[in-house]
Each structure stands twice: as C-alpha cells, then as structure tokens.
Amino acid sequence: MKPSSYLVNTARGGIVDEGALHDALSAGRPVGAGLDVFDREPAPLDNPLFKLPNVVVTPHSAGGTREAGDRSAITAVRNLLSVVDGAPDRENVVNKEVLD
C-alpha cells in the first residue's frame, strides 16, 4: 500500500493481520484505517488497534436496523407457511435438490 493510503475492512475479520496493521499504523504507514470487522468477534475491549488515534472502528451492525429485523421476521414466517402449504419458495431454498 502507498504510505498515504487508508485501509478499510468491512468484509471479514482475519483477512487483515491485525498485529501487522497495528505496527504499520503506529509507524504512520498507512495513514489510517477504518475497521468494521476483527479477527475475534466481538473484538476484545483491550484490542491494541482501539488505542490508535488513526483508527476508526464500527460495530459491524449497519444492517441491523429495525426495518431489517421486521423484513427478516416476515420472510421467515412466509417461508415456514410456504412449506406447511406444500409449496416452498424455491428461491429461498439452499439445497434445491431436496425439492425434486
């Protein structure tokens, strides 16, 4: 990475070596980091990255809105009812071969 870059990880914890990132950020290369995921979830409060002034962390819960919870509940009930009615929604079945 260029020394002037910022690292942003919102994908998966573990794809970034947190120890190496801490060392690099402490040296100012890259300039900073934005982290939404960590190797250990939930991240321990004593994670050394939390102490760095050039790191911003978020709780990996952007999708956890009230509306998302409502939609998840409605979808789950619809899926259950479709199975009880004998017509499961194929789009929501992972192992579609069991329906054949």
Which residues have a catalytic role annotated?
A: 12, 41, 60
Coil, helix or strand at residue 83:
helix
Place of tokens 């789009």: 91
How large is the greatest C-alpha to C-alpha distance in the chain, in angstroms?
62
Query: How far is the C-alpha of 80 from the C-alpha of 67, rounded, in Å?
Result: 20
φ, ψ of residue 78 in degrees (nearest 5): -60, -40
